[in-house]
């Protein structure tokens, strides 16, 4: 009778081992598929750099915080495996719950990082690199308090002083009245006429009975209205010559064919020479593809994290109901295996973006 019982126990253990092996193979297959997906993304990233203007900017601080979080979560989930094996249910519950909370924190800081990227003018939609529409001084310039306003990079200057704080707000407040210009009709100057003078092609515009007109008193044509509206949008967003915020060469860099493009006196230079007309046209038409790839790669990883968190929530519940214990830990083992993989994948992506982006 005992031999039959022993045989049944052995058969049960064999069946359990086979099930665990089958589930582990499925996890390995999933890991391989995910790895190949991201290998494709990173390869496409490198290939796309070849003949395009490419923006390189620092990664947001929130990404570094999320990296520390996911490394810590790998430690907590590994410890949960260790203490579960020891039969310590209390520590198992605490550590697997901590892993889940850290995973949620990782998601939070990833979205916070996206916010920091957008604050710096780096968008998922791949906005332009160089401002072309409504660029200051292409058609319109300004005098403020009797002094000409100039642009250098993304800075607006009155004389030699960079406009900041309330002074910049004054400029933005004045041009805000042009944000909703209609194609036809009068352009009413509701504010700022005493402090600002608007110039069109270096000729001062006039204000007649509260209406903005050209120097010869003619109305502003539809195309020139669109140009003025675009300029107002750029000033509202604090944008001068670049969509990316900050100083080119310091806060962000632009490359072409692996070589840096430099900026001086509102002109772009490549290998010490001013950009050729065809390259100037190309950069003005180029979108910020590098930022689009950054969002794509990191968000796809984040999506895998969120799906795995849903699975971990089930593991947390099962640990509290006693369904995961020292003799039944297949679900915990599989979850830990894939979580470690996602952690390593994030470190790889971060290092890739650090050296490439």
Round to whole Å and give the CA distance between 136 and 128. 16
With 70 as the cut, is the pLDDT of residue 328 above it?
yes
Please check whether residues 192 and 259 belong to one and the same domain. Answer: yes
Please check whether residues 308 and 281 belong to one and the same domain. Answer: no
157 domain residue, yes or no: yes
Split at pLDDT 50, 70, 90, the class of 249 is very high
Could you tell me which residue, 12 or 321, shows the higher pLDDT?
321
**Total domains present in the chain:** 2
Q: Do residues 174 and 191 make contact, with C-beta atoms less than 8 angstroms apart?
A: yes
Please check whether residues 258 and 235 belong to one and the same domain. Answer: yes
114 domain residue, yes or no: yes
Q: Do residues 178 and 228 make contact, with C-beta atoms less than 8 angstroms apart?
A: yes
Please check whether residues 247 and 261 belong to one and the same domain. Answer: yes
Least confident range of 9-23, 130-144, 151-165, 307-321: 9-23
H or E stretch covering 244: none
Please check whether residues 144 and 253 belong to one and the same domain. Answer: yes
Please check whether residues 264 and 336 belong to one and the same domain. Answer: no
Structural domain containing residue 33: 25-39+57-127+288-356
Please check whether residues 74 and 167 belong to one and the same domain. Answer: no
Please check whether residues 161 and 121 belong to one and the same domain. Answer: no
The CA-atom distances, in angstroms, between 171 and each of 142, 192, 231, 322 are 9, 9, 12, 65
Please check whether residues 278 and 147 belong to one and the same domain. Answer: yes
Q: Quote the distance between the C-alpha of residue 317 and its chain's center.
A: 34
Split at pLDDT 50, 70, 90, the class of 127 is confident
With 50 as the cut, is the pLDDT of residue 281 above it?
yes
pLDDT at 77: 97
Domain boundary among 285, 302, 327: 285
Domain boundary among 285, 300, 326: 285
- The CATH number for 338's domain is 1.20.120.80
84 domain residue, yes or no: yes
Please check whether residues 188 and 80 belong to one and the same domain. Answer: no
With 60 as the cut, is the pLDDT of residue 5 above it?
no
Mean pLDDT of the chain: 91
With 50 as the cut, is the pLDDT of residue 11 above it?
no
Please check whether residues 209 and 72 belong to one and the same domain. Answer: no
19 domain residue, yes or no: no
**SS3 assignment, position 196:** strand
4 domain residue, yes or no: no
Average pLDDT of span 97-119 = 97
With 60 as the cut, is the pLDDT of residue 12 above it?
no
Contacts of 107 (CB under 8 A, 6+ apart): 302, 305, 306, 309
Residue among 143, 326, 170, 293 nearest 236 (CA): 170
Domain boundary among 241, 265, 285: 285
13 domain residue, yes or no: no
Q: Is 290 exposed, middle or buried (0-12, 13-18, 19+ CB in 10 A)?
A: buried
Contacts of 10 (CB under 8 A, 6+ apart): none
* Count of CB atoms situated within 10 Å of the CB of 169: 12
What pTM was computed for the model? Answer: 0.86
Q: What is the pLDDT of residues 36-45, one digit of tens each?
A: 999 999 999 9
9 domain residue, yes or no: no
Average pLDDT of span 13-20 = 66
Please check whether residues 216 and 337 belong to one and the same domain. Answer: no
47 domain residue, yes or no: no
Measured at the CA of 110, the angle between CA 105 and CA 115, to 5 degrees, comes to 125
Round to whole Å and give the CA distance between 216 and 205. 8
Round to whole Å and give the CA distance between 324 and 93. 10
């Amino acid at each position: 009778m005992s031999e039959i019982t022993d045989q049944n126990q052995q058969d049960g253990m064999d069946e359990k081992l086979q099930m665990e092996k089958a589930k582990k193979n499925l996890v390995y297959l999933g890991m391989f598929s995910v790895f190949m997906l991201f290998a494709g993304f990173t390869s496409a990233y490198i290939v796309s750099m070849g003949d395009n203007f490419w923006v390189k900017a620092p990664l947001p601080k929130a990404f570094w915080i999320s990296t520390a979080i996911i490394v810590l979560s790998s430690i907590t989930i590994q410890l949960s495996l260790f203490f579960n094996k020891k039969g310590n249910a209390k520590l198992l519950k605490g550590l697997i719950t901590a892993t889940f909370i850290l995973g949620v924190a990782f998601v939070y800081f990833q979205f916070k990082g996206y916010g920091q990227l957008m604050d710096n003018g780096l968008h998922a939609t791949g906005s332009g690199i160089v401002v072309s529409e409504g660029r200051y001084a292409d058609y319109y310039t300004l005098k403020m308090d009797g002094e000409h306003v100039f642009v250098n990079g993304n800075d607006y200057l009155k004389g030699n002083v960079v406009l900041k704080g309330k002074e910049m707000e004054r400029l933005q407040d004045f041009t805000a009245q042009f944000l909703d210009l209609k194609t036809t009709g009068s352009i009413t100057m509701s504010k700022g006429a005493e402090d600002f003078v608007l110039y069109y092609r270096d000729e001062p515009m006039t204000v007649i009975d509260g209406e903005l007109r050209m120097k010869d008193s003619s109305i502003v044509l539809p195309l020139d209205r669109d140009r003025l509206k675009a300029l107002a949008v750029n000033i509202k967003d604090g944008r001068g010559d670049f969509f990316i915020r900050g100083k080119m060469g310091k806060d962000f860099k632009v490359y072409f064919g692996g070589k840096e493009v430099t900026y001086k006196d509102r002109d772009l230079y490549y290998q010490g020479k001013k950009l050729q007309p065809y390259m100037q046209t190309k950069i003005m038409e180029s979108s910020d593809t590098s930022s689009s790839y950054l969002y794509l790669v990191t968000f796809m990883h984040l999506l895998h994290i969120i799906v795995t968190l849903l699975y971990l929530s089930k593991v947390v519940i099962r640990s509290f109901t006693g369904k995961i214990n020292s003799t039944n830990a297949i679900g915990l083992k599989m979850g830990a295996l894939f979580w470690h993989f996602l952690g390593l994948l994030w470190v790889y992506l971060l290092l890739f973006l650090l050296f490439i982006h």
